Amino acid sequence: MANKLREAWKSGRKTVNGWLAIPHAFPAEVMAQAGFDSLTVDMQHGVQDYLSAVACFQGMQPHGVTPMVRVPWNEPGIVGKVLDAGAMGVICPMVNTREQAEQLVSYCRYPPQGARSFGPIRAGIYGEAGTYWQTANDDVLVIPMIETRQALDNLEAILDVPGIDGVYVGPSDLGLSLGLPPLQDREEPQILEIYGRILHETKKRGQVAGLHTMSGKYTKRMHEMGFAFGTIMNDSGLMLTAARAQIAAARGG
């Protein structure tokens, strides 16, 4: 099955990504009807594991949203498992060197491009079962996170690894690594300059860049700056923010 995100980006359309921290299929199917282009199960900082990621995928599948995962770490076992489960893209934290980027690609691509093991138990659902292995290398998105000073130092080397489709910026970790507080929706010129460099280098290579945000407004601004996709907060954060606003209105002055 063609990857809708890939198609959108090719056509120049910016996309909006949702982020799932709640380990259950029901909130995933609710989020899948909100209008996101893609939903990413956050197995790193979200309250998620492999089976909850599968459940989230099952919840979102009827609604046509592109299923993605942020894996907990650059480890072949879990990367293979989420791809077999049907992830159309893998966002991987803390890819700081060319070698780490090569490993990530290797975990995500079937031979000869990589060393992924064959057994797409749910992923075969998306394509025609017999042809998934022929199209997966072209469809699955491989997206390392750029979120440390070391990664910035190695940015070009990382992007030059064949099979890398783009990068995802983690503003909190990037800040911490640079001696700044772990914030999102950053406005420091130093950071915006880094974003500009990342956009320049990825664009040059026909790759995309995405980042995490805390609002639709900031996502829009980043779209305009050149990011292909932005993530808005996460499921539990949206719920909490909305609850607080409604409670304030109920009690309200």
Tell me which residues are annotated as active site: 45
For residues 1 and 7, give the distance between their C-alpha atoms in angstroms, rounded to a whole number.
Answer: 11
Binding of a second copy by 35 (CB under 8 A): yes
Q: Which of 165, 179, 39, 183 is nearest to 105 (CA)?
A: 165
24 versus 204: smaller Cβ distance to a second copy:
24
Binder among 2, 7, 10, 77 for a second copy (CB under 8 A):
77
Bridge partners, 144 (sequence order): 92
Closer CB to a second copy, 71 or 198, in the complex: 71
Interface residue with a second copy among 85, 90, 143, 194 (CB under 8 A) is 85
3-state helix, strand, coil in the chain (%, to 5): 50, 15, 35
Binders of a second copy in range 182-211 (CB under 8 A): 182
Is 240 one of the binding residues for a second copy (CB under 8 A)? yes
Helix (H, G, I), strand (E, B) or coil at 50: helix
Nearest Cα neighbor of 122 from 76, 72, 60, 166 is: 60
**Residue 36 in contact with a second copy, rule: CB under 8 A:** yes
In the bound state with a second copy, the residue whose beta carbon lies nearer, of 75 and 226, is 75
Whose tokens are 């290579």? That residue is 205
Q: How many residues sit close enough to a second copy to count as binding (CB under 8 A)?
A: 91
Contact 59, 25 (CB under 8 A): yes
Determine the Cα–Cα distance for residues 86 and 22; give it in Å rounded to an integer: 19
151 binds a second copy, rule: CB under 8 A: no
CB of 96 to a second copy, least distance (A): 9
Kindly tell me which of 99 and 118 has the beta carbon lying closer to a second copy.
118
With binding defined as CB under 8 A, does residue 97 bind a second copy?
A: no
| Rounded alpha-carbon distances, angstroms, from residue 36 to 20, 40, 134 | 12, 10, 28
Q: Which of 2, 7, 10, 26 binds a second copy (CB under 8 A)?
A: 26
User: Binding mask 100-139 vs a second copy (x if CB under 8 A, - otherwise)?
Assistant: ----------xxx--x-xxxxxx--x-------x------
Site map (CB under 8 A) of a second copy, residues 206-235, x = contact: ---------xxx-xx--x------x-xx-x
The nearer residue to a second copy, 181 or 189, going by C-beta atoms, is 181
What is the per-residue DSSP string for 125-155? GTS-GGGHHHHHHHHSEEEEEE-SHHHHHTH
